[in-house]
Chains A and B, each alone.
Chain A
């Protein structure tokens, strides 16, 4: 079965510092991995995805994620955090047997302090 885990409920970082939001996955076969962000009272917004190819994926708002097959991880990163990055971040994996199904992690609340 496909699943993702986000080990941190919350990440705190100072503005201007680099940030990392962790995600590990468990899949049978090649993973199709995604990151979404949820701002208060808004739906999930797509940030980036890894399907195949380069392990470093660049996405919206300056975010990037690194796919690491040996560690089964897909951590979200940004070199310099902004206060406006404060939100809830979800990692997701697509079911390889049925592309229609996404499995989401439990979410990580990112707090960026000025």
Chain B
């Protein structure tokens, strides 16, 4: 069964550094998403991406965040200058269309020190 994959599984970085989290969505899916889950809290929507542009973003997704689909398979989330409060599990998801369920990757645990 096709899966969403994410790399790395754990990323440790120092405050102020840039990080790029990578995702490979399911191949025939057209809609891509990033969510985050701070330890012990809810899963929160960050951004959705379709047709090479952001279709929706939350108030969390400020100018420090950006997303890109650099080629036909990868979908990345970049945090330009990490803060301590960016420490969380980041989940990538994809869906066939905007009506269907979303399929999630295993997550990247980001630790900012």
Residues of A participating in the B interface, judged by any CB pair closer than 8 Å:
34, 36, 41-46, 49, 90, 98-107
Contact = CB atoms under 8 A, between A and B. Distances in A.
A44 B91 contact: yes
Contacts, number: 51
A43 B56 contact: no
5 closest A-B pairs (Cβ-Cβ)?
Answer: A100-B48, A43-B104, A44-B104, A104-B43, A99-B98
10 contacts: A34-B101, A43-B4, A43-B105, A43-B107, A49-B101, A98-B48, A100-B48, A100-B98, A104-B43, A106-B42
Contacts of A106: 41-42
Interface in B47-89: 48, 50, 55-56, 58
Interface string B96-110: 001101111111000
Nearest to A39: B106
Interface of B: 4, 6, 31, 33, 35, 41-45, 48, 50, 55-56, 58, 91, 93, 98-99, 101-107
A105 B98 CA distance: 20
A102 B45 contact: yes
Given A101-B58, A104-B42, 14 more contacts: A43-B6, A43-B107, A44-B43, A44-B91, A44-B104, A49-B101, A90-B43, A99-B98, A100-B33, A100-B50, A100-B55, A102-B35, A104-B43, A105-B42
Nearest to B3: A43
A99 B97 CA distance: 9
A58 to B, nearest CB: 14
Contacts of A101: 45, 48, 56, 58
Contacts of B91: 43-44
Most buried by A among B55, B98, B102, B107: B102
Nearest to B89: A43
A69 B55 CA distance: 30
Most buried by B among A42, A49, A100: A100
A61 to B, nearest CB: 14
